[in-house]
Chain A
Amino acid sequence: MSRSHVLRSRELALCQIDTSPFSPDQAEIILRYGAPVGSRLEYHGQLDRCMGRLQELMGAAEQKKQTLAAGTVVVAETLTRSMGRFARSWHAPAGGAWLAMAWPDTLLPEFARLLPFAVGLACCRAVRAVGVTADLKWVNDILVAGKKIGGILCQTVLSPGGERFHLLGMGINGNNTVFPDELVPVATCLSEELGARVDVSSFIGHLLAELSWSIGLLHYDEQLSLGQQTDRARSFPFVMQSWLAYCDSLGRRVEYGFDVQETPMYQALVLGVDPCGGLQMELDDGSLITESSGEIRYL
């Protein structure tokens, strides 16, 4: 894996990205919004956490009276202290794609809330691009035949100087075929699914290209909303339309909880997802509920 290989792969992938159903002019606007993705790329053999390194970079930039470049990406071959939500441990040995990106908080809140969907969309499309049929479980778990192949951690942080950034952490199991015992039944990786090793640098390059597209799409949605070029109030943002095309949660019976592993709250049937990303479910008594946070487990 190398930095230059990642960047070359990103450029190649940007030329091949699926921009349907948009016109060339629209696609150009979308990709222009997403252009800062990977504007600066730092590559490490080993790190504690990619997000931690981004926070260090924020502080260092501000000490020089600068701001961290939008779209700065940190990639590491292995992570020693990686973690998921609720401080869950995240297994990140050599062979996987472990990265995080800093994106300045310039989106309006109603679009910033869709960032986790945009990142999930990018990861899912990148996995599919290498030939593995992945699906999205609300909000952004990436599954292959029910097994987790990747995860995303989104946090919004304040830099020491008070600037807000979204930190978007992504982990995709690549050639790391050995998992801790408790994860063996529920985890998989690209090489296991493909029956061959994957070029992780090339995969990360492709993922960055997909991030340019999906985050660009989110900014394009915001532009349309602000310009009121269409009646956006009643239609789905494009990023959510795209996300829905990859989501397999609809019609599934699920268990819901804020932290569903530790404290499952109830079981329900998934009816749909609203334009704000809220999960619409029907409870056993027939009543409807919409959740805007938390997680689900398929039953």
Chain B
Amino acid sequence: MYSVCLTFSHFFYNMSSQEIQFDEIISRYRSDPYDYVDMFAIHTGEVHFLVEENDVVQGRSGEWQHIAGSPLYEINRERNPKIISSQTNGTVSSVCQALEGQFVESGEKLLTIRHPLKKKEIIEAILQEVLFLFEAPERARYYFAMDIQSRIEQKGVRSVFIQPGDEIITMSLMKRDTPVFYDGEPGIIHSAYFQPGDSVDQGVPLIGVCPEEKVSLVQKVITRVKAEWE
């Protein structure tokens, strides 16, 4: 379990008023071009840390993302130990050492990884604050519903308008296909974060949806960050 700690309330405010404080956003990222990824206990159990502060860790790798990342901690519940690995590369910025060898509850924060952001990730992080993110309901493989896929193929992903109740994606788990219905705000699919057939973890965004009136604004953000971020 992990989360990304980025706050953009100021940015949000300006987005809603259709104005963007580009300099402020850029300088914010220039002064701290990192993502802070908190790692939480995946379930109850006794915790033993496998890293220390300032250790460098790696995320998943391999052609199929099948090679586990650096081991971060072991959690043992009823003599069933599990090693939890890093999902991202970076440096361990803090470890809750007081919890070493202790029994923790599910969801307790255990450590934080400081992940250096690339330009593409910065654009995506900004966009993810602006777009409505539709997340994977379960760890499964996903593909677009046939109607959506054909519209994407004909017109491109950013021309596909969706609204609540639309069947947009099919979730495939153990050869059982389940339609996934959209429940966010109406808009166009601005970003697709998966390729049809990709395995996506629960809670990870599948698509980012942008209200039609904000499309040009979002494009402005991308252009500006691309131009200014070296």
Interface residues of A (CB under 8 A from B): 85, 87, 109, 112-117, 139-140, 152, 154-158, 166, 231, 233-234, 258-259, 263, 265-266, 277, 283, 287-289, 291-295
Contacts of A277 in B (CB 8 A): 174
Residue contact B179 to A294, C-beta cutoff 8 Å: no
Which residues of chain B have a CB within 8 Å of any CB of chain A?
62-64, 66-67, 78, 80, 138-141, 143, 146, 172-179, 181, 197, 199
B112 to chain A, nearest CB (A): 28
A266/B63 contact (C-beta < 8 A), A258-B197, A292-B139, A293-B140 known: yes
Contact B176 A113 (CB under 8 A): yes
Does A293 contact B141, Cβ atoms closer than 8 Å? Answer: yes
Structural contact, A156 and B177, CB atoms closer than 8 A: yes
B176:A155 contact, CB within 8 angstroms: yes
Residue on A with the closest CB to B79? A234
Closest CB in chain A relative to B29 CB, distance in Å:
35
Other A-B contacts than A283-B64, A287-B66, A293-B199, 4 sampled, CB-CB below 8 A, are A115-B176, A158-B179, A166-B176, A293-B140
Say whether B67 contacts A85, CB under 8 Å. no
Q: Which of B67, B138, B173, B181 lies at the interface centre, i.e. has the most chain A CB atoms within 10 A of its CB? A: B173
Contact A116 B175 (CB under 8 A): yes
Instruction: Please determine whether A85 and B177 come into contact, CB atoms closer than 8 angstroms.
Output: yes
- 25 sampled A-B residue pairs with Cβ under 8 A: A112-B176, A113-B173, A114-B174, A117-B174, A139-B174, A154-B175, A155-B179, A156-B179, A157-B179, A166-B176, A233-B78, A233-B80, A234-B78, A258-B141, A258-B172, A265-B64, A266-B64, A287-B62, A287-B67, A288-B66, A289-B64, A292-B139, A292-B174, A292-B199, A293-B174
Considering residues B67, B175, B177, which has the most beta carbons from chain A within 10 angstroms of its beta carbon? B175
The distance in angstroms between the C-alpha atoms of A155 and B171, with both chains bound, is 10
The 5 closest A-B pairs by CB, nearest first: A258-B197, A289-B66, A156-B178, A154-B176, A293-B141
Closest Cβ–Cβ distance, residue A183 to chain B (whole Å) = 20
Query: A182 CA to B178 CA in the complex, in Å?
Result: 29
Within the assembled complex, what's the spacing in Å between the Cα atoms of A10 and B80? Answer: 43
A234 close to B140 (CB less than 8 A): no
A279, closest chain B residue (CB): B174
B141: chain A residues at CB < 8 Å are 258, 292-294
B173 CB contacts on chain A under 8 angstroms: 113, 292-293
A87-B146 in contact (CB<8A): yes
Q: How far is A234 from B77 in the complex, measured between Cα atoms in Å?
A: 11
The answer on a CB contact under 8 Å between B175 and A109 is no
CB atoms of A155 and B175 under 8 A apart: no
Between B78, B172, B176, B197, the greatest number of chain A beta carbons within 10 A of the residue's beta carbon is seen for B176
Q: Closest chain A residue to B138 by CB distance?
A: A109
Q: How far is the CA of A180 from the CA of B197 in the complex (A)?
A: 28
Kindly report which residue of chain A lies nearest to residue B140, judged by CB atoms: A293
Q: How far is the CA of A116 from the CA of B138 in the complex (A)?
A: 17
Q: Nearest CB to that of A283 among chain B residues?
A: B66
Question: Which residues of B have CB within 8 Å of A263?
Answer: 197
Q: Are B197 and A155 in contact (CB under 8 A)?
A: no
Contacts of A289 on B, CB cut-off 8 Å?
A: 64, 66
Contacts of B199 in A (CB 8 A): 291-293
Interface-central residue, B80, B141, B143, B177, by most chain A CB under 10 Å: B177
B174: A residues at CB distance < 8 A: 113-117, 139, 277, 292-293
Chain B nearest CB: distance from A293 CB in Å? 4
Residue of A nearest to B65 (CB): A289
Interface hub of B146, B174, B181 (most chain A Cβ within 10 A):
B174
A111 to chain B, nearest CB (A): 11
Once A114-B174, A287-B62, A292-B140 are accepted as A-B contacts, the answer to whether A158 and B181 lie under 8 Å apart by CB is yes
For the complex formed, measure the closest distance between the CB of A185 and the CB atoms of chain B, giving whole angstroms: 23
Q: Which residue of A lies closest to B170 (CB)?
A: A155
